[in-house]
Every structure is written in C-alpha cells, then in structure tokens.
Chain A
Amino acid sequence: MTKGDIDPPPFFKKWSSMYWLVLAVLAVLIVVFYLITVSYR
C-alpha cells in the first residue's frame, strides 16, 4: 500500500459531466418546487 492509496483523488478530475447533471437536476427541482409553493399559496 502506498500513501497515494489513502488520499482522495483530485476533485472533479473526471466524471464532471455526470456530477453536473445531478446538480442541475437538483437546481431545476428546487426552482420548480419554489414556483409551486408561491403559485398555490
């Protein structure tokens, strides 16, 4: 085992498109939920 094994990898080095997709969907959901909240108040 080397010290590199227990260090986390650089954040967002790969896979960033999938990560951004998850975050974008969350952002859209929050906006939609907010719009529902204010329009049916």
Chain B
Amino acid sequence: MSQLDWAVLIGTIAFIVLYGVWKTRKTRNMSGYLKADNTERWWMMGLAIMATQASAITFLSTPGQAFEDGMRFIQFYFGLPLAMVVLSATAIPIYYRLKVYTAYEYLESRFDLKTRSLAAMLFLLQRGLSTGITIYAPAIILSAILGWNLTGTILFIGVVVIFYTVVGGAKAVSQTQRLQMAVMLGGMLVAAVVVVRLLPEQVSFPDAMVVAGKLGKLNLVDLSFNPNDRYNLWSGLIGGFFLALSYFGTDQSQVGRYLGGETIAQSRLGLLMNGLVKVPMQFLILMVGVLVFVFYQFHQPPLYFNQQQAAKVMASEAAPAWRQLEQESTTAFEQKRAAALAMIQGYKAGDDAAVETAAQQAQQAEVVRKEARLQAQELVKSQNNGVNLKDTDYVFLTFVTQQLPTGLVGLLLAVVLCAAMGSTASAFNSLASTTVVDVYKRSLRPNASDNHYVQASRWFTVGWGAVSILFALFAQQLENLIQAVNILGSLFYGTILGVFIAAFYFKTLKGNAVFWAAVLTQAIIFLLYYFTPIAYLWYNLIGCALVVGLGYLLQPLLPPNNTSAALTD
C-alpha cells in the first residue's frame, strides 16, 4: 500500500473517531448515554440504522457473491421495506408511549419479568457471540490480502470502537455512523464508476450488462417457489419480511438507534428512509460485484482469490497439480474472453444468433473454469483442513488492491473499516444498554443514581468489547466455530419475534404461556435445523407461528399470571 493510501485510510478513520468523541464529550446522564437525549433527526437515524446493518462483510462478501452467484441475493432484502412500514405503524408508537430504553422493557409491561429476561438473555447471547465475528471476519480478509497482522487488526478495530462508544454512548455511535455511512456510500459509488472505466475501450456499460446477463449474473428476480432455496422472490418477501421484522423490531442494536428520535414522526421517517434506500444500496453493491466479474472476463483473474492459501499450496508437494489447474483456468479464460468479445460484436451488430452462439461458448468455458476452481479448493483443503474454502469474500478486496489507482485503495479500505466500526459500535452500545437496563438496574441495583447507571453502562461497554475481542482472537483457532455462531444467531430471531408478535397482536395470551411456548419453540427450531433442509430464512416465520400457536395450546394448562391484567382500562 502506498503512503497516499495510508494517509487517506488513517485520515478518514481518525477524523470520524475524533469528531464523534469531540461532539459527545459532555454526555452525562442515562437518557443522553443510552438514547442520545431524544435529539436525533430522521436522516441521522436512517443513516445509523443502515450503518448498523452494513457490516464490513457486507462490503467484502456481497460483491464476491454477485461475482460467483449473480445478483439474486437482492431478493433477500425485498421483505425489508414491508417490515419498516409495519414497525413504523405498530412498534414505534408503543416504545415511545412507554418511554423504554430497550425493546425488552416492553415485554415486562405486557407479560412478566421472566419473559422480558428470557428475550434479553437470548439477545445478549446471540449479539454477544456474533459481535466477535463482526470484528474477526474483515480482519482475517484484510490480513490475508494486505499482510496486516491479524491480532493487531482485531485489537485496532475493537479498541478504537470501545474508546468512542465508552466516551459518548449512543450519541457517539450515531455521530460517527452518519460519517461512516457517507464514506461507505461514496466509496462504493466511486468504485462502480472506476470499474466501468477499467473495462477495455471497446466495452461500454450496456455491453458489460449483455456479457453479465448472458453469463447468468443479472438473475435479480426468480419467481419459482422452493422453500429449500434461499433466494427467490417468495423467500425474500416472506422470509425476508419476518427476518427484518425481528431484526429491526426486537434487536436492541437496531431498536436503540431509533429510540433516540426527537419525536415519533422522526423515528418513523428514519425507519422508512431505511426501507426506501436499502434495496437500491444493495443493488449498487451487487452491481459493483457484477462489474468486477465482467472486468475479469477481459483481465485474467487468479485461480484462487485467497492468495495466502494459494501460496501455501504452491509451497507444498501439490504445486504441480496447482500449476496444471492454473493452466486449465488460463485456457478457459482465453476462450471466455474471445467469446465475450464476439458476444459484444454480435450485440452491436444486432445479430442475436451470434450473441447466443458466443454466449454458449462463454458458458462452456465458465464451466471449465468453475471446475478448476473447485479442484483448487480441494488442494487448499488438503493442505489446510479446517480453513474456510470459500474465496469469494476475497474477490472484491483483491480487485481493489490490484487494480484501483493509488488513493482509492485507501478510500475503499476506509469503507471496509468504517463498516466494521459502525456495526460493532451499535452492538457494544446495545449490549451495554440491555445489560444495564434489563439485568443490572432491573434485578441487581434498582435504586442507584442516574450517574451510577451511566458509569455502569461505560463499564459494561468495556466488558462486552473485551469479550468480543477475545472471541475474535479465539476464532482464529476455530474457523468452523464462526459458521456455527452465524447459524446459531439466525436461529434465535424467530423465537424473539414470536414473543413480540404475541405481545403486540394476541391480547388474550398471558405471560406464562408465552414464556414456555418460547422455550419449546427454541428447542423445536434447533431440531428443525439439525434434521431438515429448510432454508434458515423460514425459521423466522416458523418460530413466530410456533410461539403464538403453542402459547394458545399451553395457556389452558398453565396458571395465569399477567401483570397487564392489573392495568386499568
């Protein structure tokens, strides 16, 4: 990396962190620390909500996913705008009326303490585990491609985020996230423009779209219904809706962002802004991945994008086999490049038959290249059993570091680090606020001063930060653990959402029944995961339906206890 890139990277990160700390240095009370004193405008919350969801892996994995699998991942986000509308209409007014600090406080008003504690604990477990990965995932990729020290990268991200989150709480998270989001969106827009400019002279943007389309990368909408397929219109609209409903409605890392609004109207607008902007933003990121794919139709890509692992194979006895695969891949690349150029010529001449013939040749060459890549993965596995074989996470950053001009490399790396910091900061802040409000203040020290709780929040932020960093450092040893934790996290959402849906819409359900229904549902979801091939997006819908259904089944069998029954009408 050049000095200019380092200057851009360090300058951007340092400016954002110092700005956030300076603007929020006077935060003293609990409302300011955990809810930003209810001073947030809609666009600030909209940006904070998007920055919380956009982790570094969004900017590393998503272009790689488009590179390998096309743009069908976009369908995953189709349910999100629907969820934003439902939450704006239902959840936000309730949270505001009750003046809660966390989503789980509401559950005690509606059901009882144990249901509130169960939901808070499931959140702490799920978010506490996954935050370590939010730090680890980009650190491993940055260290592999740029040669950065892995432990140093993990410590840098973790410690910087702990620093500004401890100083300014939710206010600092929000102040920094709006700048981070500006860097992320600006960086990706610049990347999209630069990739098009890096294409060969005779290849325009429409030509690039023809090549991408014929090679199956513009597969944005799939109307077929298959519950075992992750990405089609229906799993996106239905499964994605329930996932977004649980993530934005019941996950404190998101709820905490919009509880700080000036008014209900501002919070609603913040969520609706997310609903309007998210799908186009993901489209942009996926489009960058597709353009990188087209770029590599005219410039030879590496056989395997994780160069660190490739180097290990080359240093082993498997090197001759690897070179053979590289040769096969090169031949396939040359055939594909010729076919892609023929496709473009046919397209410009309006010759559909020539386009189709060239497309078939390109597709055949693509099959050969994919086969060579699969065999390359086997060789990597033979040298390092347990390593994550998927190299698509490395595609975008490899392209950035090898092809982009000086200065832009620093900007794009700033995008990745900003994304890592924004999502990690929200996680630390929400873990601390849930621990203080739902556990410490509620059950351990109920009558301490406001200042005491602010100090406790600071210490819990440090504590959760330390746990996440330790987990990220530990994850180096156990690559498979990461997958397990990622899956584990997605298995909890349906249950938590079910508890909230029961609270919002099923007024006759009582606390005892919902609590035990939630416990049973969680067990059933684990069984479904181990014994059925159902795609994980559907667990949200299934978990939700199970909590409500089992709640009604169990209610006659359990003694009623409902604190809301004591409330006046």
B residues 30-89 in Cβ contact with A at 8 Å: 74, 78, 81-82, 84-85, 88-89
B97 touches A5 (CB 8 A): yes
The answer for the CA separation of A21 and B277 in the assembled complex, in Å, is: 12
The answer for the CA separation of A18 and B93 in the assembled complex, in Å, is: 16
A40 touches B569 (CB 8 A): no
A9 touches B109 (CB 8 A): no
A1 touches B74 (CB 8 A): no
B109 touches A6 (CB 8 A): yes
A2-B272 contact given A8-B504, A26-B82, A40-B218, CB 8 Å threshold? no
The answer for the CA separation of A21 and B88 in the assembled complex, in Å, is: 13
Pick the residue among A5, A19, A25, A37 that contacts B218 (CB under 8 A): A37
A22-B568 contact given A15-B89, A30-B78, A30-B233, CB 8 Å threshold? no
CB closest chain-A residue, reference B507: A7
CB-CB under 8 A from B106, the residues of chain A are 6
The answer for the CA separation of A8 and B223 in the assembled complex, in Å, is: 34
Interface flag for B220 (CB, 8 Å): yes
Interface size, chain B (Cβ < 8 Å): 45
The answer for the CA separation of A12 and B85 in the assembled complex, in Å, is: 9
Binds A, one of B146-154, B207-215, B552-560: B207-215
Interface flag for B456 (CB, 8 Å): no
CB-CB under 8 A from A26, the residues of chain B are 78, 81-82, 275, 279
CB-CB under 8 A from A39, the residues of chain B are 213
The answer for the CA separation of A23 and B338 in the assembled complex, in Å, is: 44
A1 touches B93 (CB 8 A): no
Interface flag for B219 (CB, 8 Å): yes
B568 touches A3 (CB 8 A): yes
In the assembled complex, how far is the CB of residue A25 from the closest CB belonging to chain B, in whole angstroms? Answer: 6
A15-B81 contact given A1-B567, A8-B94, A30-B233, CB 8 Å threshold? no
CB-CB under 8 A from B505, the residues of chain A are 8
Pick the residue among A11, A22, A34, A40 that contacts B209 (CB under 8 A): A40
CB-CB under 8 A from B458, the residues of chain A are none
A1-B98 contact given A6-B109, A22-B272, A40-B209, CB 8 Å threshold? yes
The answer for the CA separation of A7 and B569 in the assembled complex, in Å, is: 11
The answer for the CA separation of A22 and B279 in the assembled complex, in Å, is: 11
A33 touches B81 (CB 8 A): no
A40 touches B214 (CB 8 A): yes
The answer for the CA separation of A21 and B276 in the assembled complex, in Å, is: 9
Pick the residue among A2, A18, A25, A34 that contacts B567 (CB under 8 A): A2
CB-CB under 8 A from A7, the residues of chain B are 94, 507
Interface flag for B337 (CB, 8 Å): no
Interface flag for B369 (CB, 8 Å): no
A22 touches B84 (CB 8 A): yes
The answer for the CA separation of A24 and B82 in the assembled complex, in Å, is: 11
Interface flag for B192 (CB, 8 Å): no
A12 touches B89 (CB 8 A): yes
CB-CB under 8 A from A15, the residues of chain B are 88-89, 268
CB-CB under 8 A from B568, the residues of chain A are 2-3
- A-facing mask of B491-523, CB < 8 A → 1, else 0? 000000000000111010000000000000000
A40-B109 contact given A8-B93, A30-B221, CB 8 Å threshold? no
A34-B93 contact given A29-B279, A40-B209, CB 8 Å threshold? no
CB closest chain-B residue, reference A13: B89
Pick the residue among A1, A2, A9, A21 that contacts B89 (CB under 8 A): A9
The answer for the CA separation of A7 and B98 in the assembled complex, in Å, is: 11
CB-CB under 8 A from A23, the residues of chain B are 81-82, 85
A11 touches B98 (CB 8 A): no
Interface flag for B29 (CB, 8 Å): no
CB-CB under 8 A from B81, the residues of chain A are 22-23, 25-26
Interface flag for B230 (CB, 8 Å): no
B280 touches A29 (CB 8 A): yes
Interface flag for B110 (CB, 8 Å): yes
A6 touches B567 (CB 8 A): yes
In the assembled complex, how far is the CB of residue B110 from the closest CB belonging to chain A, in whole angstroms? Answer: 5
CB closest chain-B residue, reference A2: B568
A40-B213 contact given A3-B567, A6-B567, CB 8 Å threshold? yes
Interface flag for B451 (CB, 8 Å): no
B residues 120-145 in Cβ contact with A at 8 Å: none
Pick the residue among B82, B89, B219, B279 that contacts A11 (CB under 8 A): B89
Interface flag for B308 (CB, 8 Å): no
B275 touches A34 (CB 8 A): no
8 additional contacts (CB under 8 A) given A3-B569, A23-B81 = A8-B89, A19-B89, A21-B276, A22-B81, A30-B78, A33-B221, A37-B220, A40-B210
Chosen A-B contacts, 7 in total, with CB atoms closer than 8 Å, are A4-B569, A5-B98, A7-B94, A19-B89, A22-B84, A22-B272, A40-B209
Which B residues lie at the A interface, using CB under 8 A? 74, 78, 81-82, 84-85, 88-91, 93-94, 97-98, 106, 109-110, 209-210, 212-214, 218-223, 233, 268-269, 272, 275-276, 279-280, 283, 503-505, 507, 564, 567-569
